[in-house]
């Protein structure tokens, strides 16, 4: 049944399942401490699948064969076989109905743990990123226990809502940004590092500097520790395994850094380059076509199968769009001009 799979299919099988199990782990973390061991088990399997070089379908002859792989028990083996035969996992579909699933997308962002998200949902009725942004912008979280001024400020920073009054000229931002990127590229484990955000879009003035780094999970902690010790860094705002934010000595410029896998790199560059308006239009188009798009990749909205994410060109391709240069990503007609003949009706 699974003979003749290409290398791309092998990667897609493993990564699609890894993504599903990662999200299942998030669901169980959200449900509380009594589900802690389930969360750990699914996260471990997700990591195993991401690191496998061969197609998981090669082991799917029966549950016993899969069960022999270290870290994959009988219950999870059954779910792998279910996915390979049907394209979905029923337990995952049921889990998504028990939790505010769209809100759990924030769990990979530093500062948005399960307890925080549960409180936001239970006490303020927040169901997704858009609800949270609106709540932060309208001071709806004031008075909520545990959400003091500092925590709310950090949440705004993480969601790119915190407005710094000081902006610097593009030429100065490019000089500073390239200096930091060049230092990062010298660090062991860094496979690639590029500027993103408004700096990549060549905006005349820059509020903060965004950098996306490609690195394997095992190297990220050391990379982040080296970054926060750079002589240009005056203050550390956020320090995590996938994200870091620092304030530089020069003009208190903030630098936001995201560390990603190779199969997420294009999605991260697209998302963190913006503009916000351009990204919103892409999400609307993706939804119209039955896809879901975020900073981790482009997925089938029903099955959750990963379809694209390693390059920006690949992301645009699945939306039937030509590649759009960063400086044109303003939602000022560039998407309509880039469309291929596909019958899309663009949302207003």
pLDDT in tens, 304-344: 888 999 999 999 999 999 999 999 999 999 999 999 865 44
d(CA 280, CA 285): 9
Confidence of residue 11 (pLDDT cuts 50, 70, 90): low
Confidence of residue 345 (pLDDT cuts 50, 70, 90): very low
Answer for the pair 192, 213: CB distance below 8 angstroms, yes or no. Answer: yes
Percent share of the chain, pLDDT over 90: 55
- 5 exposure class (CB count in 10 Å sphere: 0-12, 13-18, 19+): middle
Among candidates 325, 195, 330, 324, which has minimal Cα distance to 272? Answer: 195
Helix axes of 114-124 and 7-31: crossing angle, nearest 10 degrees? 60
CA distances from 72 to 46, 56, 65, 96 (A): 10, 11, 10, 22
- Mean of per-residue pLDDT scores for the chain: 87
Q: Which CATH architecture fits 101-158?
A: Orthogonal Bundle (1.10)
The tally of CA atoms less than 13 A away on the side-chain side of residue 299 is 22
- 163 exposure class (CB count in 10 Å sphere: 0-12, 13-18, 19+): exposed
Superfamily of domain 7-98: DNA polymerase beta, N-terminal domain-like (1.10.150.110)
Does the structure show a pLDDT above 90 at 299?
A: yes
Query: Global pTM?
Result: 0.60
Q: What average pLDDT does this structure show over 149-165?
A: 73
Q: How far is CA 316 from the centre of its chain?
A: 17
Where is 141: in which H helix or E strand?
none
pLDDT of residue 207: 87
Q: Which two tokens stand for residue 189?
A: 């484990």
pLDDT-wise least confident of 72-76, 181-185, 297-301: 72-76
pLDDT of residue 174: 95
Does the structure show a pLDDT above 90 at 216?
A: yes
Does the structure show a pLDDT above 70 at 172?
A: yes
First to last CA, the chain: 44
Helix axes of 7-31 and 36-51: crossing angle, nearest 10 degrees? 170
Highest mean pLDDT among 20-24, 59-63, 196-200: 196-200
d(CA 112, CA 26): 11
Superfamily of domain 168-260: Beta Polymerase, domain 2 (3.30.460.10)
Percent share of the chain, pLDDT over 70: 89
Topology of domain 271-338, CATH: Beta Polymerase; domain 3 (3.30.210)
Tokens 């008075």 map to which residue? 143
Q: Matching CATH topology for 7-98 and 271-338?
A: no
Domain boundaries, the chain: 7-98, 101-158, 168-260, 271-338
Over the stretch 256-292, which tens digit does the pLDDT of each residue have?
999 999 999 999 999 999 999 999 999 999 999 999 9
Q: Tell me whether the omega of the peptide bond preceding residue 27 falls within 30 degrees of 0, making it cis.
A: no
């Amino acid at each position: 049944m699974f003979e003749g799979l290409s290398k791309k299919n092998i990667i897609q099988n493993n990564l699609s399942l890894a993504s599903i199990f990662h999200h299942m782990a998030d669901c169980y973390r959200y449900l509380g401490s009594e589900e802690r061991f389930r969360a750990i088990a699914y996260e471990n399997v997700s990591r195993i699948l991401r690191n496998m070089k061969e197609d998981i379908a090669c082991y799917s002859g029966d549950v016993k064969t899969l069960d022999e792989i270290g870290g994959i028990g009988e219950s999870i083996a059954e779910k792998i076989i279910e996915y390979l035969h049907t394209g979905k996992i029923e337990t995952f579909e049921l889990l998504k109905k028990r939790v505010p699933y769209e809100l759990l997308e924030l769990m990979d962002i530093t500062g948005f743990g399960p307890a925080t998200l549960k409180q936001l949902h239970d006490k303020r009725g927040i169901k997704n990123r858009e609800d949270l942004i609106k709540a932060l912008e309208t001071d709806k979280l004031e008075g909520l226990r545990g959400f003091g001024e500092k925590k709310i400020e950090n949440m705004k920073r993480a969601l790119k809502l915190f407005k710094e009054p000081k902006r610097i000229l593009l030429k100065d931002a490019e000089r500073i940004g390239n200096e930091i990127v060049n230092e990062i590229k010298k660090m062991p484990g860094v496979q690639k590092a590029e500027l993103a955000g408004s700096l990549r879009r060549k905006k005349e003035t820059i509020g903060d500097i965004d950098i996306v780094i490609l690195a394997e999970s095992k190297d990220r902690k050391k990379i982040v520790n080296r970054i926060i010790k750079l002589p240009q860094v005056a203050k550390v705002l956020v320090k995590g395994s996938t994200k870091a934010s620092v304030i530089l000595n020069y003009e208190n410029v903030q630098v936001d850094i995201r560390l990603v896998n190779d199969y997420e790199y294009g999605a991260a560059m697209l998302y963190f380059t913006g503009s916000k308006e351009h990204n919103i239009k892409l999400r609307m188009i993706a939804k119209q076509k039955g896809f879901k798009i975020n900073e981790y990749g482009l997925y089938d909205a029903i099955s959750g199968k990963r379809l694209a994410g390693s390059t920006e060109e690949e992301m645009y391709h699945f939306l039937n769009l030509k590649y759009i240069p960063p400086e044109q990503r303003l939602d000022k007609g560039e998407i309509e001009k880039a469309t291929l003949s596909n019958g899309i009706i663009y949302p207003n």
